[in-house]
């Protein structure tokens, strides 16, 4: 029984931040933040601001690959947009981009989502912004405010950058 407890303790502390001694009084809190994915170290500055790119172009096959990647990552919910055994139309892909944008917002705002899924959502934001730009015309025709969509992505990235509010000594 004692060796099992020692094994569990070793596993739990194996991934802990190395710059916080295990005997330090703040270690349990820092370790919990680290395991949740909220503590990565000092922020590296602001994220690059995402913008609508009027020259953005994505071929249908590229967008299908991107959609499939988002599907595997859990930030695109199947059942919207394209149906059938033909190449999807630009409007169907625009609907899929819009659905992914909404799902990314839900993932990042939900306290119940796993930190790993939030990291995936954050890492896909530049690709999502590019897809929004590439389907700007179709999204606008479908009633989406693409400027607001990009602004929302930037706000979510700003919120991530504000997670660490400590001093930089």
**pLDDT at residue 20 tops 80:** no
Residues spanned by the domain of 70: 60-161
In this structure, the answer to whether residues 30 and 82 fall within a common structural domain is: no
In this structure, the answer to whether residues 31 and 65 fall within a common structural domain is: no
In this structure, the answer to whether residues 80 and 141 fall within a common structural domain is: yes
Which of the 8 DSSP states describes residue 115?
H
**pLDDT at residue 38 tops 70:** no
Q: What is the pLDDT of residues 5-17, one digit of tens each?
A: 444 444 444 455 5
In this structure, the answer to whether residues 69 and 148 fall within a common structural domain is: yes
Strand runs labelled E in the chain: none
User: Is 53 part of any domain?
Assistant: no
In this structure, the answer to whether residues 81 and 157 fall within a common structural domain is: yes
Q: Is the pTM of this model over 0.75?
A: no
CA distance to 6, 8, 99, per residue, from 70 (Å):
39, 34, 11
**Can you give the pLDDT at residue 167?**
34
Residue 148, token pair as written in the block? 């607001």
In this structure, the answer to whether residues 93 and 10 fall within a common structural domain is: no
In this structure, the answer to whether residues 75 and 131 fall within a common structural domain is: yes
In this structure, the answer to whether residues 64 and 113 fall within a common structural domain is: yes
State how many domains the chain has. Answer: 2
Q: What is the pLDDT of residues 91-142, one digit of tens each?
A: 888 888 888 888 888 888 887 777 778 888 888 888 888 999 999 999 998 8
Please count the other Cβ atoms lying within 10 Å of the Cβ belonging to residue 138: 19
Exposure on the CB side of residue 22, measured as CA atoms within 13 A: 7
User: Is 55 part of any domain?
Assistant: no
In this structure, the answer to whether residues 17 and 99 fall within a common structural domain is: no
**Can you give the pLDDT at residue 47?**
60
**Can you give the pLDDT at residue 136?**
92
**pLDDT at residue 143 tops 80:** yes
User: Is 88 part of any domain?
Assistant: yes
Residue 4, token pair as written in the block? 């099992």
**Can you give the pLDDT at residue 33?**
67
User: Is 50 part of any domain?
Assistant: no
In this structure, the answer to whether residues 69 and 116 fall within a common structural domain is: yes
Question: Is the four-CA dihedral 50, 39, 111, 118 of positive or negative sign?
Answer: positive
Q: What is the pLDDT of residues 42-89, one digit of tens each?
A: 444 556 676 777 788 888 788 888 888 888 877 776 655 455 566 777
């Amino acid at each position: 029984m004692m060796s099992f407890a020692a094994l569990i303790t070793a596993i739990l502390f194996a991934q802990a931040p190395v710059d916080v001694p295990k005997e330090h009084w703040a270690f349990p809190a820092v370790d919990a933040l680290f395991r949740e994915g909220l503590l990565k170290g000092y922020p590296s500055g602001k994220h690059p601001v995402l913008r609508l790119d009027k020259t953005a172009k994505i071929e249908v096959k590229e967008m299908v690959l991107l959609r499939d990647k988002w599907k595997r990552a859990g930030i695109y919910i199947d059942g919207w947009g394209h149906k059938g055994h033909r190449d999807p139309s630009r409007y169907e892909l625009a609907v899929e981009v819009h659905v992914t944008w909404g799902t990314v917002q839900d993932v990042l705002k939900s306290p119940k989502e796993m930190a790993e899924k939030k990291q995936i959502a954050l890492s896909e934001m530049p690709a999502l912004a590019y897809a929004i730009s590439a389907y700007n015309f179709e999204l606008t025709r479908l009633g989406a405010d693409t400027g607001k969509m990009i602004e929302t992505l930037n706000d979510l990235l700003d919120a991530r950058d504000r997670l660490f509010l400590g001093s930089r000594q």
